[in-house]
Amino acid sequence: MSTHARLTRSLLSLLVLAGSASAKRVEVRGRQLLLDGQPFEVRGICYSPTPINASVHFAPYGDYFTADFSFIWLRDLRLIKAMGANMLRVYGWLPENDHSDFLDAVEAHGLKLMATFYMGEASESPVETEEQRGKVVRRFAEQVRQYRDHPALIIWSFGNELNGVWNGYLQQLGHNPAAPCAWDERYDDLGGCWIHKGKPPVPGSQCYNTSYCVYSRLFGLINQAAEAAKAEADVLIVSAMADVDALYEKVARAGHLAPSLDAWTAQVYRGNTFGDFFGTMSDATDKPVLLTEYGVDAYHDVCGTQATTPCYNRFGDESGSYVDEAAQADYALKLTREIQSNSSLQEHCGRAKRGSTDEDGYPNCATVGGFLMSWVDEYWKGATAQAKCAPTYDDPDFSVATCDDHAHVTCGNWNASDHDLCGYKLDAAPDGYVNEEWFGITTPTTCGDDINAIAPRDIFWQMRHHWTGAGKEPSLFGSCETTLSEKCAARELPTGLPFLPPPPPPSGGHCSLRGQCVTDHRICGPGDVNSSVTPCCACDSGFAGSTCEQLDARTYLALGAGSVLVGLLVLLAITTVVGKLFRAESAARAATELK
């Protein structure tokens, strides 16, 4: 072998080594998402398990992803896995909390996670100045760094619906006084000039120019965020967009300004089909699309089709509304099938790119999957419903005149114990109405302070069958009774303890009848990656153990101390008696001697 050949060879092996060392655990190549080198399709579930009577507006602010709430996610993760999903999407969590146990549990259940960097509305995370934008980007990068090595966390979303006018970001970016985008103020509340016209803007028009200006700034900001995050961790970066403003047209014109973004994303609510979504996006970009939300709610609400407004019907009344599990399941199945038939997981998709057609041999490779909305009904959502009456019906000042079109008169409803119908009219929904509190694949019931038992809707079994082939298995889900008795049931009643009356006879009670079954996590304390400790037994004094089946250590101490004390007393008594006898004898002897 010549020196030259040898050199070439060692150079080659070096290159190979370098290649494998830099191999990413997760990446987008072409239109495909590769996880540990294998093509992967997201079969995701949006996961925001806020219990009944809790709200993201109060502590813990929707952050149920800590050890304190392991009783919630340990309840859910095995069921989500059993349904055949492979990923979860979580919304905000508080960066100051530790989410390692949750992440470990996600991984241990064979699932992956997409986290959302919470930005809220533009008033909460302003982006008007360079300095403000830098601050948001730094905050994002810091959060990405926090779990940079966690194998479960593979995708981060920079914000949620940043392109929705209702969040105010487009306005702030467009209104920069130094270089305004010539934003038309009249349209601020209506979705910008382009949506107001109901179709993409005409090239050369003011609206065409304005929307390019605004979206190029938005995509530029998102790209900055993606670059900063990727410098911290080997993760994918997306930004969950609203499906508005003819998004494909903005991506086609300004998408090149976000080269570091891994996929375009949208939350698509267009009925029982994605319509032209995959086609138009596929023609607009080389990148794949990820559906960060899809699906419909499970409530058939007459409010959607009734001619009059506002709507006075309530859950459980005679209005002819009902829980429509069949429609929810049908829509989810049909949409999921569309995702799969447009999935880049398919064999031929390796080289798909912008505008790929049947003739190229790789059509329908637009998407890497989606997240089904959502795991469990969220009773808090009616608080900030889109269509509301201000004030609501129970207020003496209630007036039809101050209700939005087809608002439910009780909405916004801040009572998070109330399974209300708040939402808005949407023609694409099966019943013409979106009921925000009814998107659950499962539905909860209250079993005590923090504890909810969940029951599956049809969609659970149908999606499970679709994804795994498995049939119905109702025993997967526990009732309130089983949820409580799992933790609080007496195992074996203690018998024959010294110095104590025998325990009362068993009567099907909990906690060995020597304590209370408590459902408040603040009393029970945190669990961990494998164990939940809520509910728990709060034992009567003197007892301990997970079901109060044992004596408390302090009781043993007291008993021990008691025995010692008794011993000492006996000893003392004996000494005294003996002493007295001895003294009596001595006295007698002395008396005899004196005589």
Residues near ligand NAG (CB under 6 A) are 53, 204-206, 209, 273-275, 277-278, 338, 341-342, 364, 415, 417-418, 528-530
Residue 279: φ, ψ to 5°? -65, -50
Considering the complex, state which of residue 445 and residue 530 has its C-beta at the smaller distance from ligand NAG.
530
Shortest CB 317 distance to ligand NAG, Å: 13
| Integer Rg of the chain from CA | 32
Query: Closer CB to ligand NAG, residue 97 or residue 209?
Result: 209
Residues 460, 442 contacting (CB under 8 angstroms) = yes
- In the block, tokens 């006018």 appear at 165
- The DSSP result for 16-80, as a single string, is HHHHHHT--SEEEETTEEEETTEE--EEEEE---PPTT--TTSTTTT---SGGGHHHHHHHHHHH
DSSP string, 211-244: HHHHHHHHHHHHHHHHHHHHTT-S-EEEEEEES-
Q: Which is nearer to ligand NAG, 230 or 314 (CB)?
A: 314
> Cβ distance 420 to 437 under 8 Å?
yes
Nearest-5° angle of CA 547, CA 552, CA 554? 165
Comparing CB distances to ligand NAG, the nearer of 159 and 444 is: 444
Nearer residue to ligand NAG within complex by CB, 219 or 362: 362
The residue among 122 and 451 lying less far from ligand NAG, judged by its C-beta, is 451
Of 239 and 336, which has the nearer Cβ to ligand NAG? 336
Shortest distance (Å) from residue 59 CB to ligand NAG: 10
For residues 502 and 512, the answer to whether their CB atoms sit within 8 Å is no
Cβ proximity to ligand NAG: between 229 and 284 the closer is: 284
Residue with Cβ nearer ligand NAG (245 or 418): 418
CB of residue 364 to ligand NAG, shortest distance in Å: 4
Evaluate whether 99 touches 123 at the Cβ level (below 8 Å). no
**Minimum distance between the CB of residue 277 and ligand NAG, rounded to whole angstroms?**
5
Instruction: Write down the least CB distance from residue 534 to ligand NAG, Å.
Output: 15
Least separation in angstroms between residue 417's CB and ligand NAG is 4
CA 402 to chain centre: 34
Report the relative pairing of strands 289-294 and 367-372 from DSSP bridges.
Answer: parallel
Write down the least CB distance from residue 372 to ligand NAG, Å. 16
Residue 13 Cβ, how far from ligand NAG at the closest point, in Å? 37
> Of the two residues 202 and 561, which places its CB atom closer to ligand NAG in the complex?
202
Element (H, E) at 411: none
C-alpha count within 13 angstroms, C-beta hemisphere, residue 24: 14
Nearer to ligand NAG, 116 or 343 (CB): 343
Two tokens at 340? 């799969």
CB of 220 to ligand NAG, least distance (A): 18
Axis-axis angle for helices 130-146, 206-230 (nearest 10): 40
Rounded distance, CA 233 to CA 470, Å?
37
Residue (104 or 232) nearer to ligand NAG, CB? 104
Q: Enumerate helices (H) and strands (E) in the chain, giving the number of each.
A: 14, 21
Min dist CB 363 to ligand NAG, Å, is 7
Q: Which of 543, 537, 498, 507 is nearest to 520 (CA)?
A: 537
Distance CA 337, CA 41 (A): 13
Q: How far apart are CA 543 and CA 537, in angstroms?
A: 10
Degrees, nearest 5: CA angle 182-140-51:
105
Q: Least Å distance between CB 309 and ligand NAG? A: 23
CA 429/CA 469 separation, integer angstroms? 28
What is the smallest separation between the CB atom of 189 and ligand NAG, expressed in angstroms?
A: 22
Beta strands at 550-551 and 543-544: parallel, antiparallel or unpaired: antiparallel
